[in-house]
Amino acid sequence: MNLPWKTRIALWWDRPRKDTFANPNLSLRKEKYPFSNLLILLPKKPEHSRAARMFIQSLQNAMGPQGRIQVRYIAKRLNLEYVDATINDRLIAYSDEHINRWGLPEQSFLEIIFVSKPEVVIDLNLDFDPVSATIVQKSGAPMRIGFYNEENEKYFNILIERNENEYLEESYKKIQQLLGLA
């Protein structure tokens, strides 16, 4: 992990404590949609954007036209050319002006994101990202899904282990299954 020392120190200072995340009450429910507010952090690497776009389209197809689930997306402004235009009305874009000197999101940006509290947060970044990790931590969502790496263990309560031989789309399918949408 090639993070600047100041970002490492800021992450350590603002690290999740063991008592920060109480055991969430996750359970299977009879309702069609067990959650109503979903926040998805889009990948920073452009090479992962195609698979993420396919995941978003399949997620929208699985949820159907009823619109009972509020889905919002967060992407880096530099990657907007890789984002599907159909989600622009629910997209929150950020740039370096939203990042503080420590390399973490500004409080004002977090307030924009958390106008409504998400019940599920999904990080589509395969590698650890301090901005995404901070957003996940500050969300307080009972279900925080991300991909496995040692750093992500501190921020997520559901980690998807991904084999190098496996297509990224298969990992995204596992996320849909966890959400009960596959």
Q: Above 90 in pLDDT, residue 109?
A: yes
**How many other CB atoms are found less than 10 A from the CB of residue 99?**
18
Helices (H), 3-75: 5-13, 49-63
Mean pLDDT over each residue of the chain, to the nearest integer: 83
DSSP state of 99: B
DSSP state of 120: E
> Exposed, middle or buried, 93 (CB in 10 Å: 0-12/13-18/19+)?
middle
Q: pLDDT band at 51, cuts 50/70/90?
A: confident
| pLDDT recorded at residue 182 | 64
Higher pLDDT, 101 or 20: 101
